[in-house]
Structure 1
Amino acid sequence: MAEPIRVVITGAAGQIAYSLLYSIAKGDVFGKDQPIVLILLDIPPMLPVLDGVVMELQDCALPLLREVIPTDKVEVGFKDIDAAILVGSMPRKEGMERKDLLKANVAIFKTQGAALDKYAKKTVKVLVVGNPANTNCLIASKSAPSIPKENFSCLTRLDHNRACSQVAMRCNVSSDAVKNVIIWGNHSSTQYPDVHHAKVKVQDSELPAYDVVKDDAWLRGPFISTVQQRGAAVIKARKLSSAMSAAKAICDHMRDIWFGTKEGEFISMGVYAAGNSYGVPQDLMYSFPVCIKNKMWKIVDGLPINDFSQAKMDATAAELVEERDTALDFLSQ
């Protein structure tokens, strides 16, 4: 057997983690022959809950799970880790302004970024889930200068999966028959779900999504707003935020980092914009189409972009620039 890898999950007593931990511990993410040490990090008041989660993981009797370490200390949580899944963040409370939310989260992700810098392996792969995910990811990266920016990414795979599913249902095919949808920009209601480059497998042929759906008005209207507003729709119906689907998306994202994307396919993830792709300003974490090989992502460049798409991509970039500038003000205080 391989040496165990060390994986930390923050916000580990929360409901997303509760849906996530079993899949990771049983080998769905890092491989069926990869032993794992799970470190569960949360705030001090949640430690009794973590004890219950540890008991449940023990009771699953999973052969790959070598150790489970519950902690509220970053120096324990981030010590020598191979992967970090940063789920915990300050949720938006009723009456809270976005600026207040950003300020609270800058403090959290500055601390966690500094801890990654000090204690984690320099090869660590960091996935930020806690919202506002793109900007939290940028703050964590800036607070960990010794870890390459390319090692940080934020979750837009849930939006990507939602977009695939909507197209699949519309075309009456299984979701794996849809590939190369793109989520551009921010994991917020300004994100742009784009199917101009997507393909749908019908019988033995791969056809452009627009040709299979045959409803441009839907693809440019209700489809986009459904994906953008899906998180709010789930909260309205369930009275809780997306957990099962978020956990599945986290697994998809990390598995693709570990094992790479399929030939001819790309997926969406929030990654560092260096200012040379699709007119996106530099120094943002922006969701692009990427392909992954040897644990390194590469933006899929050169896709033709029409005026409709460019306007949407620019709008979500503008929101990210505003978020970044507000967050950086707090970071420097």
Structure 2
Amino acid sequence: MPASTVDDVVTVLITGAAGQIGYALAPMVCAGAATGPGKKIALKLLDVEFASEALRGVKMEIMDCAFDACVSVDVFTDCEKACEGVDVAIMVGGFPRKQGMERKDVLGKNVAIYKQQASALASKAKKDVKIVVVANPANTNAKILAKFAPSIPRGNVTCMTRLDHNRALAQLGERSGKATIEVKNAIIWGNHSSTQYPDVNHATIEGKPAREVIGNDAYLDGDFVDVVRARGAAIIEARKLSSALSAASSVCDHVYDWIHGTKEGEWTSMGVISDGSYGVPEGLVYSFPVTCTGGKWQIVQGLSIDERSRKLMDESAKELTEEFELAEQCLAESA
């Protein structure tokens, strides 16, 4: 591994690192896709004890890639040790829903996980650590983490809806026959779930309104929304496995834009703690259109919201409110 000075090094933690997303994500991070050029990476990989051998295998493969930017790779099954000195925490680990499990059961498991990880990050990570929660239910997991890590700035706790955002861009590009890079400013509002609202009302394709370019409002208000919402399920149907490569790439996009800034006149979608913008209840972790500059995000203000959009945005907010109330119930029962 190449030598480097402390100031050059970004310490990145990936939890759940022995899983599919972690396996796809770790090499992207070590190649600089998340933190950008000119920075070295000290990679920390965390997973549960029973995955320790697989985790060791991931470390061996990362080392064998001999990434120029990677100065170290360390593996952990102890959360507190893993969080020591972390600059960027990518929270992929979580308890997945299994056959026969109720929603409350999954939430109860994740409440315990994210309560513990919140404590470790608050006490051991850098004070300005940037956190992105990937594990589902991502929005609620992020809200739990923020609740139990009050010393971490609220703006430093986010969840990933960039995968949904990228899916929306890709669908618009495919439908219009244009390159995805020509599609700008779609929005994902709300929860990373089937109630999310992929909004094209402010999107452009080659600088023109997306609705004008596509010329089919029935599609944009119907099949387009359904496809973006159900894309994860469609990938499971095709691969017999959940999204990993696209999730990993979207994590890197999320972190990169957060650190380096969004392009002038463009925004992305991030799950962030609501300040009440657009009538979304304050405190919910909700996906908004955001711009990033100077390592901070800002919700895009002043966008017009039509009646249809308002209804869909409120439905997702209602789901998130109910989801967190259930999580709070799980917390009370475990106390």
Please tell me the residue identity of whatever aligns with 1:323: E
State yes or no: 1:157 paired with 2:158: no
Gaps spanning 5+ residues in structure 2: where?
A: none
Give RMSD over aligned pairs.
0.8
Please tell me the residue identity of whatever aligns with 1:271: V
State yes or no: 1:247 paired with 2:252: no
User: Could you say what secondary structure the match of 1:85 adopts?
Assistant: strand
Question: What is the distance in 2 between the residues matched to 1:106 and 1:145?
Answer: 16
Q: When the two structures are superposed, what TM-score results if normalisation uses the length of structure 2?
A: 0.97
Question: What is the distance in 1 between the residues matched to 2:299 and 2:268?
Answer: 10
Please tell me the residue identity of whatever aligns with 2:15: T
- Note the alpha carbon deviations across 1:235-257, whole angstroms, 9 max, x for none: 11111000010011001000001
Question: What is the distance in 2 between the residues matched to 1:97 and 1:232?
Answer: 19
How far off its partner does 1:164 sit? 0.4
User: Could you say what secondary structure the match of 1:278 adopts?
Assistant: helix
* Residue equivalent to 2:180: 175
Question: What is the distance in 2 between the residues matched to 1:221 and 1:95?
Answer: 31
Question: What is the distance in 2 between the residues matched to 1:301 and 1:56?
Answer: 44
How far off its partner does 1:102 sit? 0.6
Q: Superposed, which structure 2 residues align to 1:21-170 within 5 Å?
A: 21-170=26-175
User: Could you say what secondary structure the match of 2:327 adopts?
Assistant: helix
- Note the alpha carbon deviations across 1:296-326, whole angstroms, 9 max, x for none: 1000011000001000000000000000111
- Note the alpha carbon deviations across 1:156-204, whole angstroms, 9 max, x for none: 0000000000000000000010000000000000000000000100xxx
Contact 2:104–2:330 (8 Å) recurs in 1: no
Give the ranges of 4+ consecutive aligned residues of structure 1 lying more than 3 Å apart after TM superposition. none
Question: What is the distance in 1 between the residues matched to 2:127 and 2:148?
Answer: 14
State yes or no: 1:222 paired with 2:223: yes
How far off its partner does 1:23 sit? 1.0
How far off its partner does 1:32 sit? 2.0
* Residue equivalent to 2:280: 280
How far off its partner does 1:3 sit? 2.5
Question: What is the distance in 1 between the residues matched to 2:36 and 2:205?
Answer: 28
Contact 2:33–2:253 (8 Å) recurs in 1: no
- Note the alpha carbon deviations across 1:55-101, whole angstroms, 9 max, x for none: 11111011111110101001211001100000011011011111111
* Residue equivalent to 2:258: 257
User: Could you say what secondary structure the match of 2:304 adopts?
Assistant: coil
User: Could you say what secondary structure the match of 1:9 adopts?
Assistant: strand
Gaps spanning 5+ residues in structure 1: where?
A: none
Please tell me the residue identity of whatever aligns with 1:289: P
* Residue equivalent to 2:308: 308
